[in-house]
Amino acid sequence: MDNARIFVGSFNFDQRSAHLNTEMGIVIDSTAIASQLGDFFDKTVPELAYEVRLAPDGVHLVWIERIPGGEERRYDHDPETDGWMRFKVDFLSILPIEWLL
């Protein structure tokens, strides 16, 4: 963010990590490394990964694929999945098992 420092951490977005706080991190104070990493995330990562945003309805998600040449392709479902896989995920999401994650 400031092109001066990098924070590398191990926090997992799950209930155990949020409540037990057994994660670790390190701050690297290096303008050269921070600038290179910032450039990588600004220029290269958008070509390699989908960007996930909240859809305009405020409920659903939209996946954005950056295509070389500046074009964007938007998906209203998780790309690279089929209907059966999405059905299984939706089914499991109704089970009260979040505390197990």
Q: What is the DSSP letter of 43?
A: I
pLDDT recorded at residue 92: 86
Going residue by residue through the chain (101 aa), what tens digit of pLDDT does each one get?
688 999 888 777 777 777 776 778 899 999 999 999 999 988 899 889 999 999 999 999 999 999 888 899 999 999 999 999 999 988 988 888 776 65
Question: Which residues fall within 8 angstroms of residue 29, CB to CB, at 6 or more apart?
Answer: 4, 5
Q: Decide if 4 contacts 31 (C-beta within 8 A).
A: yes
| Residue-level pLDDT at 56 | 93
Does this model's pTM top 0.75? My answer is no
